[in-house]
Structure 1
Amino acid sequence: MPMLNRRALLKTGAAGIAASTLASPLIAQNRSIRIGSYGGYFEDSFKTHVYPEFTKATGIEVESITQPNSSDWLVTLQQAVAAGNIPTDISLFARDTMIKASRIGDLIAPLDMAKITGAGNLDSYFVFEGNDGPQGVGAMSWFSAMVFNPNEVETPASWADFWDSSLFEASLGLGRNYNAGLLDFTAATFFDGAETMMSNDGIVAIIEKVAELKPNVALWWTAESQMEQSMKNGDVVAGQYYLDVANLMALDGFPIKPTFPKEGNLQDYGSWCLTAGSDKGDEAAEFMNFSSEPSTQALMSRKIGTAPLVDKAMTDLTDDEFNFVSGAPAIKPAYEAYLDNETFIKESWDKMLAEV
């Protein structure tokens, strides 16, 4: 899913962050671990705010490794594992990439969950069960949300409102890519959610429903900047956008407000995975425990702008802090459908967009 690509550009808590030297443990030890994450501000935020706290708590030094946020990383891992020279002990994977890695085999190692008791703080959905058992522990998440201009329209109660031309004719901004979320929103609103995406007939029915929406769309956006500018200048009055960025824009005084309609917003997430062949299983377990702690989840929400994977009541986040990055209910993307039937979905989607 492309929603992961934006995390490297996240502005929350990242402005002015420079590459930093990781903190040394309080007591000199030889324990260390290499952790991969997406570069730029995202990685810098981990190096500045998260890894030093882990080192302070455990004495385990962290070497931060920049990794791609795409399936390209799987190619790198395949070559490295085959050569016996793995680049990281832990990698950060989106769920779809994690599914691919599990299907390929011998890229990510099964986890000993008895050593990762902190994962019990997470919903079981965020502990990924691969072909070889548990292979991923949720790290953080983010939302693609319904947004609207509060100066122009009332708060929509449902995604179904977007199909009402009396409210939104030629005024919506929606993601153009087939896997940008609109299929998932539509499936959750008018069908049986991800289950409907598992058959060709279901996919066709969802895309036909999206086609009914076309007269209300002013912008099919592929870059964040397009939607941002269109909301600022009033070309669109509602649509889908990233929750945290929308809140940042609102704080800057622009006419945009995110909301959680009754069907929910799309929640994507990343997971920590242990690289096959790593001899740092114990250190990885300690880091995954640390990451799963409510205090760490709250730290990441405050400093990186990601949504926590633990219940808000377990954290010390204020309502405002929590609502800035998260909410309910959540719609889970149809990951397996996008992987198993990508060509049919993409071709059907592109044909729908091309039709006048």
Structure 2
Amino acid sequence: MHRKTITHAMTRRTLLQTSAAAGVAAAGGLLAAPAIAQARSLKVGAYGGYFENSFKEHVYPEFTKATGIEVESVTQSDSTGWMLTMQQAKAAGIVPADVSLFTPFSLIKGSRIGDLYAPFDPERIPNLSNLDEKFLHRDEAGLTGVAAMSFFYSMVINTDEVERPESWAEFWDTGRFEASLGLPKGYNWFFLDIIAATFFDGAASFETREGIEALIAKAAEIRPNVGLWYGSESQMEQALKNYDVVAGEYFHDVTGLMAADGHPVASIFPKEGNPISHNSWTLSPLSEKSDEAHEFVNFSCDPATQAIMSRKIGTAPVVDPSLTDLSQEELDAVSGTPTITPAYEAYIDNESFIQEAWNKMVAGA
């Protein structure tokens, strides 16, 4: 995820351990202290800020209520940085988090590195049947990633300034959008996938260097209409609020929050669709909490949990929405159709080439 320091708080488990130790010391060794059952716990990584706080407030307590397993929340960095952290931790024999979140990019890269993720046992996750196969990551080790939530990179417009487009192709119309679009500066925000779905053969366009070059060339044609190549979410948010741009590519859920705050913006699902991405739970190969981790992932795959995430965190469900009790209005706030699935493998196989070509295009070189 392109969104989101580790803080240490005294958890209930730590408090129980500390209290037990104090009790033994007070006894002065005269009597053997009765055995105290070890509280079950799990360290779960999540991107920081509002995202992690929402999990701590709305998701983890429900999991503990259902299973008795306490969750120690671990603030993790962006997916790429956290993969490096986990790689270094594994080499040092440390487990920063038993369960962590990773994007498809990091899942694929981690699988290629090898031994970075322990496989889940599908038989121990009965709710796995609620997920489509596209939300499950499998490699030589087995099932190493189970989607936690999804989100959309969406077409957004200022409703005061722009009539609803029916296609992404309309963004190339200089008569309507000259110097008024906001597009991501990064190559891996899936604008190339939008171009592939709109003007070419979808994911097949990424299969050759020539195909990728054609996508970049089409992207170059939109440059006169771009008023902002943004490097952070906050840049685009402010540009929309200030009317510096009137349309572009942005997050569906954040746009919905802006609209709820009274800003004249809307997220549109044009006929080609919007790119969908997701974050997946992974298990550290050094974790001694496999049982708890499987219970947690199974809880996450429960439609009721997915509904909580949609309502409280603003993410889209990775289960069939009909299995949840989300109203159509609630579902529309976090999701939509049709969808575009990014060509993840192609981005990784051609990472340097795509990044260099994209950056040259953005710079006008």
Same fold (TM over 0.5): yes
Match of 2:194 among 166, 178, 185: 185
Q: Quote the residue 1:109 is aligned against.
A: 118
Match of 1:298 among 294, 299, 307: 307
Q: Quote the residue 1:337 is aligned against.
A: 346
**Which structure 2 residues correspond to residues 242-281 of structure 1 after superposition, within 5 A?**
242-281=251-290
Distance 2:178 2:79 in 1: 36
Match of 2:2 among 1, 5, 9: 5
Displacement of 1:190 = 1.0
Q: Unaligned 5+ residue runs, structure 1?
A: 9-18
Q: Is the 8 A contact 2:156 2:249 kept in 1?
A: yes
Distance 1:71 1:355 in 2: 28
Distance 1:221 1:202 in 2: 25
Q: Is the 8 A contact 1:22 1:47 kept in 2?
A: no
Q: Is the 8 A contact 1:22 1:48 kept in 2?
A: no
Amino acid at match of 2:275: L
Q: Quote the residue 1:15 is aligned against.
A: none
Displacement of 1:82 = 2.7
Larger radius of gyration: 2
Say if 2:73 is the partner of 1:76: no
Could you say what secondary structure the match of 2:118 adopts?
coil
Say if 2:205 is the partner of 1:196: yes
Q: Quote the residue 1:353 is aligned against.
A: 362
Displacement of 1:189 = 0.9
**Which structure 2 residues correspond to residues 1-356 of structure 1 after superposition, within 5 A?**
4-6=1-3, 8=4, 30-355=39-364
Amino acid at match of 2:2: N
Q: Judging changes above 3 Å, is the alpha-carbon distance between structure 1 residues 146 and 64 closer, same or farther for their aligned structure 2 residues?
A: same
Distance 1:31 1:21 in 2: 12
Amino acid at match of 2:339: A
Amino acid at match of 1:146: M
Displacement of 1:202 = 0.9
Q: Is the 8 A contact 2:79 2:101 kept in 1?
A: no
Distance 1:160 1:21 in 2: 52
Distance 1:98 1:75 in 2: 12
Displacement of 1:98 = 1.0
Write the deviation string for residues 103-144 of structure 1: whole angstroms up to 9, x where unpaired.
111110111101112111011111101221111110011111
Displacement of 1:29 = 5.8
Distance 1:191 1:72 in 2: 33
Q: Is the 8 A contact 2:11 2:72 kept in 1?
A: no
Q: Is the 8 A contact 1:22 1:51 kept in 2?
A: no
Q: Is the 8 A contact 1:20 1:48 kept in 2?
A: no
Write the deviation string for residues 267-299 of structure 1: whole angstroms up to 9, x where unpaired.
111000111122222211111110001100010
* Length, aligned pairs only: 341
Write the deviation string for residues 16-74 of structure 1: whole angstroms up to 9, x where unpaired.
xxx896799xxx76322111111222111111111110011011111111222232322
Amino acid at match of 1:253: G
Distance 1:150 1:71 in 2: 35
Distance 2:164 2:141 in 1: 46
Runs of 4+ in 1 over 4 A off after TM superposition: 19-24
Distance 2:203 2:162 in 1: 30
Could you say what secondary structure the match of 2:189 adopts?
coil
Could you say what secondary structure the match of 1:5 adopts?
coil
Write the deviation string for residues 135-186 of structure 1: whole angstroms up to 9, x where unpaired.
1110011111101122222211111111122322222111121112211110
Displacement of 1:300 = 0.6
Amino acid at match of 1:102: S
Q: Is the 8 A contact 1:116 1:289 kept in 2?
A: yes
Amino acid at match of 1:112: D
Q: Unaligned 5+ residue runs, structure 2?
A: 16-36
Could you say what secondary structure the match of 1:179 adopts?
helix
Instruction: Indicate the larger mover: 131-140 or 170-179.
Output: 170-179
Distance 1:168 1:73 in 2: 38
Instruction: Indicate the larger mover: 274-283 or 71-80.
Output: 71-80
Distance 1:266 1:116 in 2: 28
Instruction: Indicate the larger mover: 169-178 or 256-265.
Output: 169-178
Could you say what secondary structure the match of 1:96 adopts?
helix
Distance 1:90 1:258 in 2: 32
Could you say what secondary structure the match of 2:291 adopts?
helix
